[in-house]
């Protein structure tokens, strides 16, 4: 088993080493025949397993465009979902459901929704409760497939919510400043006697980088290095630790003349250090230094990979503990590249990240027909995407004020940087839009301080691949559950289970439980709040019950949104927001209700062989008479245990087993109970006369009853069945804004204090129009877009609304 030391495991990025090790194995077999065949076979095995791992578990990413970064309790949060392939960033129409949540600082879900994805995009909204406290909240999004991986890989962004139930808006005294100071040895370790580069990251309680200076001190208090942070609280310092066990510390000068002391990472007696420098405009220079009797003259391997492609696989010989590699930048794919050092035993020991600025992405231009507008004036917005593949676009226009201090993430910065690194990245777009020495230095500081691990070696090298807990929702909604023994709670294996959502649109899913009792029901497009019924066949498996599990992830990324502090300086803005919110809640149109899309009314079994509308016949009060008189395709038999059905197949041959009997889509296993049901409550009866396969189960036909309202009409449920309210897919809500296109509308005395003027999740290049409100000030136009070829881009534009022009 390969050994990955714990400090390196936290920083190590091995997400896509399948191709890396494959390249290394090929190099060893062709270019260096010296290793023993056993070693070559071992590398081939690792390569095969890594390749298999990557093919089984491809990466998927989500990005959310939110309409604005700050809200007032009671307002509506609008969003659009973009789904892309992890490596190419091309739209990925695989998953059909996105899970979106608003989390409080304690990772408690405040709002949750399941959003349908069509052609790799989706849209939705949340009405923030009027009682929601002021604070910073996390909005996260993921798919079912993404739940198989670390929650760090979910999309995350932070929003600010202000509760204006009081004019003060919840102003709180400014607490004592809290800072997070971290140090990251380049490559993973500090080794005694080897000069090392130490990455520095200093942030405040809100996660924002701050300017600071510091001094490194040895155990005697002697300075061994000084540093100062550059952009976003990131910096670096070089020093040579003297010996293992020496306790080094950093004295940091923080804002407001505060001074704090922090311990540096421990120093190892022996090990390797990897150092990356710019050799030239076209090349990188990678220097490896090792200390230890068994390390100073061993063979080492350097692997460079990015975008799931191997850029370099080469070997070098340490001479007196040192080796130098040269990497051509042209070999590296755009984005975050990983340079990984393996020792002679093919164990990863060091890693360094390097950022290769990607080519220009999707070019978007946006402008309004004027720079200034009066109140209630029409705005015409011209939006244009560079010629090329079609692009999906979304647009938001909102007011800028002192509460809107941060911007939402842009799609290109998220896909190229934030989604590839551990933890939040402050203003990722900064590293993409300009190419100069200052930006390059800031990007390299970022690579020093934020690493990522996407899989564990134990999972890759396992003889048998671990089962995937969460299936990709390729055909619609999947409801997860568990079958357990009603008496002991032990999991039930191999038990047939049924999940139905009673309605006039017959919907049923079946599953057979696995060894751990888990079941997954494919329910397709299940919209809105519904009652679902989960059960086993009470005639065969009466000792078991089905428990449904929440669809949302119960795992959370480290950290959180941070604390919101509302200072006295924001009193004027809070007072204005308070008035706006009160007026809007009193006079503005209510948010439109969610509308559910039209669904296919065809039953899951398709077109029946026979269909009987009972109102077309003389109505009987006894179900046995109905079945015997009007349904010749179903024979009624009576045995010692009561009634049984036999369905005649197309050759008029009677089958020997009961068919699948349904009432509004709910299975009824005891025929006596359906025969005791009032037939006057049944509108129609479908019969399928052929053998029917559903999931892993087989039935000799289907007999399906439908009531007038599709609500079971008072039919008593089986005592072992689970009846549960279930929130399905979110419906659609249209963004509404008043139009002032007539003199009467412009002179209306109804106040209009909107600060979100426009939201369009499906924008086009055609001119877009909307109207200003009664709120004067500066407004920001934000456009996000993703092209079919994976190019992403964003654009912003500001205009002003004045009292009178």
Give per-residue pLDDT as tens, 736-774: 889 999 999 999 988 999 889 999 999 987 799 999 999
Q: What is the mean pLDDT of residues 661-680?
A: 96
CA distance 339 to 312: 9
71: helix, strand or coil: strand
CA distance 344 to 24: 12
Six-digit token pair at 791?
């190019």
CA distance 272 to 292: 9
Q: What is the pLDDT of residue 47?
A: 42
Residue 260 has pLDDT above 60, yes or no: yes
Helices and strands counted in the chain (H then E): 11, 48
CA distance 460 to 570: 53
Residues 6+ away with beta carbon under 8 Å from 596: 527, 528, 731
Q: What is the pLDDT of residues 407-416, one digit of tens each?
A: 788 999 999 9
Q: What is the pLDDT of residue 115?
A: 96
Nearest by Cα to 482 from 521, 509, 527, 538: 521
Nearest by Cα to 351 from 17, 19, 8, 10: 8
- The DSSP H or E segment spanning 627 is helix 623-630
Q: What is the pLDDT of residues 471-510, one digit of tens each?
A: 899 998 999 999 999 999 999 999 999 999 999 888 899 9
Nearest by Cα to 78 from 60, 57, 102: 102
Residues 6+ away with beta carbon under 8 Å from 729: 97, 114, 115, 116, 477, 525, 526, 527, 528
Q: What is the pLDDT of residue 461?
A: 59
CA distance 488 to 202: 52
First to last CA, the chain: 75
Which of 379-417 are b and which e, b meaning 16 or more Cβ less than 10 Å from the residue's Cβ?
bebebebbeeeebbbbbbbbbebebbebebbbbbbbbbb
- The DSSP H or E segment spanning 20 is helix 17-31
776: helix, strand or coil: coil
**Per DSSP, which regions of 656-805 are E strands?**
660-663, 666-667, 682-688, 692-694, 697-699, 702-707, 722-727, 756-763, 768-771, 777-787, 792-801
Cα 357 → chain centroid: 24
Asked if 725 contacts 110 with a C-beta cutoff of 8 angstroms, the reply is: no
Cα 339 → chain centroid: 27
Residue 678 has a CB neighbour count (10 Å cut-off) of 13
Nearest by Cα to 20 from 357, 334, 299, 307: 307
Q: What is the mean pLDDT of residues 551-573?
A: 80
Q: What is the pLDDT of residue 293?
A: 78
pTM of the model: 0.88
SS3 content of the chain, % helix, strand, coil (to 5): 15, 40, 45
Residues 6+ away with beta carbon under 8 Å from 790: 84, 85, 88, 89, 90, 91
Asked if 532 contacts 507 with a C-beta cutoff of 8 angstroms, the reply is: no
Q: What is the mean pLDDT of residues 226-252?
A: 92
**Which of 17-31, 190-204, 591-605 tops mean pLDDT?**
190-204
Q: What is the mean pLDDT of residues 197-209?
A: 89
Residue 40 has pLDDT above 80, yes or no: no
DSSP 713-755: GGPPPPTT-EEEEEE-B--B---------SHHHHT--S----S
Q: What is the pLDDT of residue 99?
A: 98
State the pairing for strand pair 518-524/610-613: unpaired
Nearest by Cα to 475 from 116, 83, 90, 81: 116
DSSP 537-600: -TTT-TTEEEEEPPSS-----SS-S------GGGHHHHHHHHHHHHHHHHHSPPPPPPBPPP--
Q: ∠ CA 108-110-115 to the nearest 5 degrees?
A: 115
State the pairing for strand pair 477-485/322-328: unpaired
- pLDDT above 90 covers what percent of the chain? 58
Give the C-alpha distances (Å, rounded to integers) separating 520 from 149, 479, 512, 523, 603.
Answer: 18, 6, 9, 9, 20
CA distance 254 to 109: 34
Q: What is the pLDDT of residues 598-644, one digit of tens each?
A: 777 888 899 999 999 999 999 999 999 999 999 988 999 999 889 99
Q: Residue 27's pLDDT band (boundaries 50, 70, 90)? A: very low
Q: What is the pLDDT of residues 521-549, one digit of tens each?
A: 999 888 999 999 999 999 999 999 999 99
Q: What is the 3-state secondary structure (H, E, C) of 242-255?
A: CCCCCCCEEEEEEH
Domain ranges of the chain: 179-356, 477-548
CA distance 22 to 610: 59
Six-digit token pair at 352?
């360094």
Q: What is the pLDDT of residue 29?
A: 30
Q: What is the mean pLDDT of residues 644-654?
A: 72
Residue 193 has a CB neighbour count (10 Å cut-off) of 16
363: helix, strand or coil: coil
Phi, psi of 60 (to 5 degrees): -140, 140
**Which of 2-6, 344-348, 791-795 tops mean pLDDT?**
791-795
CATH code assigned to 179-356: 2.60.40.10
Query: Dihedral through CA 140, CA 146, CA 148, CA 149, nearest 10?
Result: -70
- Residue 723, classified by CB atoms within 10 Å of its CB into exposed (0-12), middle (13-18) or buried (19+), is middle
CA distance 597 to 577: 35
Q: ∠ CA 399-405-406 to the nearest 5 degrees?
A: 100
Q: What is the mean pLDDT of the chain?
A: 85
Asked if 730 contacts 529 with a C-beta cutoff of 8 angstroms, the reply is: no
In this structure, which long-range contacts are made by residues 293-297, counting pairs with CB atoms below 8 Å and at least 24 apart in sequence? 295/270, 295/271, 295/321, 295/343, 296/320, 296/321, 297/321
Asked if 77 contacts 65 with a C-beta cutoff of 8 angstroms, the reply is: no
């Amino acid at each position: 088993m390969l050994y990955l030391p714990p400090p390196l495991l936290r920083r190590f990025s091995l997400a896509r080493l399948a191709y890396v090790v494959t390249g290394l194995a090929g190099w060893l077999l062709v270019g260096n025949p010296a290793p023993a065949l056993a070693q070559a076979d071992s590398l081939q095995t690792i390569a095969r397993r890594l390749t298999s791992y990557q093919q089984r578990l491809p990466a998927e990413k989500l990005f959310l465009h939110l309409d604005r970064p700050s809200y007032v309790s009671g307002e509506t949060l609008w969003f659009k979902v973009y789904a892309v392939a992890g490596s190419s960033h091309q739209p990925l129409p695989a998953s059909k459901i996105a899970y979106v949540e608003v989390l409080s600082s304690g990772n408690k879900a405040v709002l949750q929704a399941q959003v349908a994805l069509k052609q790799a995009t989706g849209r939705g909204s949340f009405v923030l409760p009027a009682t929601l406290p002021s604070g910073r909240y996390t909005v996260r999004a993921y798919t079912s497939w993404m739940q198989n991986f670390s929650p760090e890989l979910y999309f995350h962004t932070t929003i600010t919510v202000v509760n204006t139930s009081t004019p003060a808006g919840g102003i709180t005294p400014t607490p004592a400043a809290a800072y997070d100071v971290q140090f990251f040895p380049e490559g993973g370790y500090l080794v005694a006697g080897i000069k090392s580069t130490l990455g520095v990251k200093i942030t405040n309680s809100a996660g924002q980088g701050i300017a600071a200076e510091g001094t490194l001190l040895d155990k005697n208090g002697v300075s061994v290095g000084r540093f100062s942070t550059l952009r976003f609280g990131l910096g670096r310092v070089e020093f040579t630790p003297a010996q293992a066990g020496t306790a080094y510390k950093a004295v940091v000068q923080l804002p407001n003349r505060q001074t704090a002391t922090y311990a540096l990472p421990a120093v190892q007696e022996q090990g390797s250090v990897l150092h990356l420098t710019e050799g030239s405009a076209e090349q990188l220079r990678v220097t490896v230094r090792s200390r230890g009797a068994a390390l100073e003259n061993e063979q080492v391997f350097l692997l460079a990979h990015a975008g799931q492609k191997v850029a370099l696989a080469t070997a070098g010989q340490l001479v007196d503990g040192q080796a130098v590699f040269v990497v051509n930048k042209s070999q590296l794919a755009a984005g975050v590249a990983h340079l990984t050092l393996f020792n002679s035993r093919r164990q990863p020991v060091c890693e360094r990240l390097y950022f290769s600025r990607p080519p220009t992405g999707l070019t978007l231009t946006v402008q309004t027909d004027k720079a200034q507008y009066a109140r209630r004036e029409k705005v015409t917005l011209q939006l244009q995407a560079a010629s090329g593949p079609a692009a999906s676009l979304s647009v938001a226009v909102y007011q800028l004020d002192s509460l809107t201090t941060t911007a939402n993430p842009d799609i290109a910065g998220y896909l190229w940087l934030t989604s590839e690194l551990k933890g939040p990245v402050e203003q990722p777009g900064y590293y993409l839009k300009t190419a100069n020495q200052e930006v390059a230095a800031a990007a390299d500081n970022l690579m020093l301080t934020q690493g990522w691990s996407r899989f564990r070696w134990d999972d890759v090298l396992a003889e048998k691949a671990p089962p995937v807990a969460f299936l990709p929702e390729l055909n619609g909604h999947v409801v997860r559950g568990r079958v357990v023994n009603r008496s002991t709670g032990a999991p039930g294996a191999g038990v047939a289970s049924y999940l139905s959502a009673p309605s006039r649109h017959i919907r049923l899913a079946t599953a057979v439980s696995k060894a751990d009792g888990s079941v997954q029901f494919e329910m397709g497009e299940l919209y809105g709040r519904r009652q679902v019924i989960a059960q086993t066949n009470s005639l065969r498996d009466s000792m078991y019950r089905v428990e449904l599990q929440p669809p949302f992830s119960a795992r959370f990324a480290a950290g959180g949104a941070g604390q919101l502090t509302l200072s006295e300086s924001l009193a004027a803005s809070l007072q204005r927001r308070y008035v706006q919110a009160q007026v809007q809640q009193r006079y503005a149109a209510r948010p439109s209700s969610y509308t559910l899309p039209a669904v296919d009314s065809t039953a899951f079994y398709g077109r029946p062989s026979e269909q009987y509308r009972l109102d077309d016949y003389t109505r009987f009060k006894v179900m046995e008479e109905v079945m015997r008189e009007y349904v010749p395709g179903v024979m009624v038999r009576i045995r010692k245990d009561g009634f049984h059905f036999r369905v005649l197949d197309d050759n008029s041959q009677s089958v020997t087993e009961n068919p699948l009997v349904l009432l509004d889509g709910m299975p009824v296993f005891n025929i006596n109970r359906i025969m005791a049901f009032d037939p006057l409550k049944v509108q129609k009866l479908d019969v399928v006369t052929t053998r029917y396969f559903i999931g892993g189960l087989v039935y000799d036909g289907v007999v399906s009853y439908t009531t007038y309202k599709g609500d079971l009409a008072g039919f008593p449920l089986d005592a072992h069945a689970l009846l549960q309210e279930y929130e399905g897919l979110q419906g659609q809500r249209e963004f509404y804004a008043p139009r002032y296109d007539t003199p009467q509308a412009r002179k209306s005395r109804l106040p209009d204090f909107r600060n979100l003027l426009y939201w369009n999740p499906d924008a086009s290049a055609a001119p877009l129009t909307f109207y200003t409100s009664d709120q004067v000030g500066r407004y920001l136009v934000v456009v996000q877009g993703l092209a079919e070829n994976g190019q992403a881009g964003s654009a912003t534009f500001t205009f002003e609304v004045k009292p009178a022009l």
